[in-house]
Structure 1
Amino acid sequence: MEELLRLYEDWRGCAPQSVEQLPGAGSNRTYYRFRDAEGDSLIGVVGTSREENEAFIYLAGHFGQKRLPMPRVVAVSTSRLCYLQTDLGHRSLFDVLSEGREKGGRYAPEEKELLRRTIAELPRIQFVGAEGLDFGRCYPMASMDRTAVFFDLNYFKYCFLKTTGLDFNEVKLEEAFSEMAKDLVGDPDRHAFQYRDFQARNVMLDRDGQPRFIDFQGGRRGPVEYDVASFLWQASAHYAPELRHELMATYLDAARLYTDVDEGRFRERMRLFVLFRTLQVLGAYGFRGYFERKKHFLDSIAPAIRNLREWLSEGECPYPYLYDVLSRMVDLPAFRTEVSAQPDEPCGKDTGMERAADVLRADIGPVSVSRYDGRGPLVVRVFSFSYKKGIPEDTSGNGGGYVFDCRSTHNPGRYEPYKALTGLDEPVIRFLEEDGEILTFLDSVYKLADAHVARYLRRGFTDLMFAFGCTGGRHRSVYSAQHLAEHLHAKFGIEVRICHREQNIERILPPTEL
């Protein structure tokens, strides 16, 4: 945060009048809104991955040259971990559509018009945005290929499917995944810019109600159908089939301005991408919800399962064994109880699917999203380090704290593609999460850390230290330290100071208001 403030002061010539930390979701990035004395605002971003930041900065500059409705980056810190971007507004499309969602998907005409405006902009981003774009600068990979598809499918397998306890044949499932990956990638010559996270939370509305787009740093070259599926089948949106049909027609009309469209072929492939996107988000919801205890993702599991059940009931699946596994999964007792909310019942308000998620969470461990109301001035310090360079020194005078040895878990540093990366980079994160050993390791750490922090808060202590070591202090220890720090900050709202010693990265997660 200090580095970001210095960047703002250097760029603006004075300190901000006010600083507001913006709510986070699934990203490791932290966002702030800075206001000056005249009321003008900028968004400050603190990232944990230089490579991810570089991708966003490059893409924002490229899209600006193409006059696409994206933010501009106005200043970047020397470390490349912080930058300032233009503020596109306070209202997201997701927030504006809340009334329609709470009515079970009965959207008003003005809400439908906002949806039409938004999806009509997507082809321009995909096709105009791809013109002259150096995809080699995308992060973490240049294109959606079979390897990228397997990342997402295994994310689903390890972080969601396996948590259900369902019995399945891994060899047969991998064979189905292989066939699916081949079909999804299709003809690479037809690929354009794939936004990757095109959904209502990443659409901001200006004063005139025109959509503006954020959080495209994961974009790459790939099939355009993925983005359409992401938007129209967003788990919590509750878009009726008729509205989806209308919005898809709007997208196709807009796409014809830039490319030839075989509507029959497009709609055929869309069904496959809806399945892929649904499995991918279930993997994300499983990890961010079950393991990281983030309520937003827990609330999204119920409608995602509902979308999957709907997909399975609508027609044939080209992968018989995958169809069998998914059919048995959505028919588990935990997911079968009162599977649909009433039309006027808000999503996530004690529906049968929310209770189903509670059953599954009970198998994994206690999940709490509440904060301890009696917190005091406790500061938690979390380190990652290399055992070759010694355990971090405790400068508090308290003699140290917990030290966890990560070397028993699978080491991505043994493999060439990951050697130059760290535990903050998406490919390493995917490797560790898909392997699963690190998740089991951290589950025990969370339980111990939660109990200790709660006890320190009750006793009024002011300092607690956790340290994670591995061979090089680059992959497993960095991942573990970062995730424990974010977990404790989200759960207790206390100040957490992160130090990735061997990477020379320090970050403060400030205490939050109740």
Structure 2
Amino acid sequence: MEESIELRLARLCKQCFGLEMLKLQEIPACGSDRKYYRLFMPAPAPKTIIGAWNTDLRENEAFVSFAQSFFSAGLAVPEIYAIAPEGDVYLQQDLGDQTLFSLLSAEWFPVKDKPAACFPQRLTSLYKKSLSQLLDMQVAGKNCIDYSKSTPSASFHKDAMHWDLNYFKYFFLRLLRIPFDEQALENDFRSLVDFLQTAPSDYFLFRDFQSANIMILENEPYFIDFQGGRRGLLHYDPASLLYDAKSYLPKNIRIELLEYYVSLLESKTDYPAEDFLRFFKAAVVLRLMQALAAFGFRGVVEKKPGFRESIPPALDLIKELMQDWDLPLTLPEIRDCFVRMLAMTELRSFQ
């Protein structure tokens, strides 16, 4: 009979720490198929550790490899204690239950719609700390990461960008019956990808840098869920964080945080601010289309909670982007699709 996940985690704890696990609690899953457990241990082991189970062995290998490299470089990631020989269970540092998203939920969401609501200064500070740590990770990844472990590809190359754009085409536009001219849309996809491919792309790209993947421990950010990381452009990750539909960041805060990241870029690297900003909005367009596809697939097709509800705030970000459109390329069919999306009142009904 196949051994249970719980028994395998207990055995791995015994092998790693030489101690018997006291008990374990399963942590509720979010959007992935991975399972996480909080394991309670006796001294001198850490009081609690996190046990993870995932049948995607390449994904596990990537996460463990990246985490070990970043931890050795002194960056804000969990320590990896052990991984089973089979590669499907591993143990990592417990960073608690508080995420940047949970703090947004507690401190910002209840007041965000009130007249004269002000975004909490504490959250602004945590966002800035997160952006600073992100840039350190992006730059360190140029030298300390083994990109042969990346999955499904070692870099965010042209094909990978096209995968995201086709994801948007099929699991948002077509799924929700938003009309489009297929050839014109493909032409815009090629223009967008070709433009982004001219940006420097030898940095670590987190891939899913959002508030739910930023743990807050003793008022400091730590990063998790970077198993999709690969070599890529700098712009995508700050775009992911600042244009995260689930966070409801006010526009003025988003501008302040972008200016802060650019100031860090100028002080920590030789990347000119003007060059960075030239590509940034194009990366925002790419990320928002990828996110909308995920909301369509996860929320409408798979009916997982929390995804359909993110479509209306994502449309608000699209509307804002259209009002301030200053990309150095026109993308007429993408813009027309955005106009059609904004005109469809039924998309606003997802709650």
Aligned mates of 2:346, 2:224 — CA distance in 1: 36
Say which SS state the counterpart of residue 247 (structure 2) adopts.
coil
- AA matched with 1:43: I
- Are 2:221 and 1:211 aligned? yes
Question: Which AA in structure 1 matches 2:108?
Answer: G
**Structure 2 counterpart of 1:166, from 147, 171, 178:** 178
SS class of match (2:231):
strand
Structure 1 residue 311 corresponds to structure 2 residue 321: yes
Alpha-carbon deviation of 1:166? 2.1
Aligned with 2:93 (options 67, 70, 86): 86
- Given that residues 94 and 200 in structure 1 are in contact (C-alpha distance below 8 angstroms), is that contact kept between their aligned partners in structure 2? yes
User: What is the correspondence of 1:224-373 to structure 2 with a 5 Å cutoff?
Assistant: 224-315=234-325, 318-335=330-347, 353=348, 356-357=349-350
Please give the alpha-carbon distance, in whole angstroms, between the structure 1 residues aligned to 2:118 and 2:298: 29
1:100 to 101, 108, 112: 108
* Structure 1 stretches of 4+ moved >6 Å: none
Equivalents in 1 of 2:73, 2:18: separation in Å? 30
What is the deviation of 1:264? Answer: 2.4
Corresponding residue of 1:45: 52
Deviation at 1:3, TM superposition (A): 2.3
Residue by residue, what CA displacement relative to the aligned partner does 1:208-232 show, whole Å, maximum 9, x if unpaired?
x011111111111111100010011
After TM superposition, give the deviation of residue 316 of structure 1 in Å: 5.2
Aligned partners of 1:322 and 1:283: how far apart in 2?
14
Q: Could you say which residue in structure 2 is the equivalent of 1:10? A: 15
Of 121, 124, 140, 1:112 maps to 124
- Which protein shows a greater Rg? 1
Q: Find the residue that maps to 1:253 and give its secondary structure.
A: helix
Deviations 1:390-424 (A, max 9, x none): xxxxxxxxxxxxxxxxxxxxxxxxxxxxxxxxxxx
Is the Cα–Cα contact under 8 Å of residues 101 and 107 in structure 1 kept in the other structure? no
Question: Paired residue for 1:194?
Answer: 205
- Partner SS state of residue 166, structure 1: coil
- What is the SS of the residue equivalent to 2:86? coil
Q: Is the 8 A contact 1:122 1:251 kept in 2?
A: no
SS in 1 for 2:222: strand
Give the Cα–Cα distance (whole angstroms) in 1 for the partners of residues 23 and 119 of structure 2.
36
34, 41, 60: which one pairs with 2:39?
34
Would the aligned equivalents of 2:262 and 2:273 in 1 still touch at CA under 8 Å? yes
Q: CA deviation at 1:117?
A: 1.4
Return the structure number with greater relative CO, CA threshold 8 A, min gap 6.
2
Question: 1:134 and 1:117 mapped to 2: Cα distance?
Answer: 26
8 Å Cα contact 2:138/2:205 also seen in 1: yes
TM-score, normalised via structure 2 length: 0.91
Tell me if 1:127 matches 2:139. yes
Partner of 1:429: none
**What amino acid maps onto 1:265 in structure 2?**
D
Shift of 1:132: 3.5
What do residues 305-326 of structure 1 show as CA deviations (whole Å, max 9, x unaligned)? 1111221222256211111122
- The residue matched to 1:160 in structure 2 has which SS? helix
C-alpha contact (below 8 Å) 1:25/1:296 kept by paired residues:
no
TM-score, normalised by the number of residues in structure 1 = 0.63
- Identical residues among aligned pairs (%): 33
Q: Quote how far apart the aligned CAs of 1:257 are.
A: 3.8
Do the aligned residues in 2 keep the contact of 1:66 with 1:129 (CA within 8 Å)? no
SS of 2:108's equivalent?
helix
Would you say 1:70 and 2:104 are equivalent positions? Answer: no
Shift of 1:191: 2.8
Mark the CA change 1:231 to 1:271 in structure 2 (over 3 Å): closer, same or farther: same
Q: CA RMSD in A?
A: 1.7
Question: Which runs of structure 2 are paired with 1:461-500 in the superposition (5 Å)?
Answer: none
- Answer whether contact 2:66 2:146 (CA < 8 A) is retained: no
Q: Which residue of 2 aligns with 1:374?
A: none
8 A contact 1:100–1:107 mirrored in 2: yes
User: CA shift at 1:192, angstroms?
Assistant: 0.6
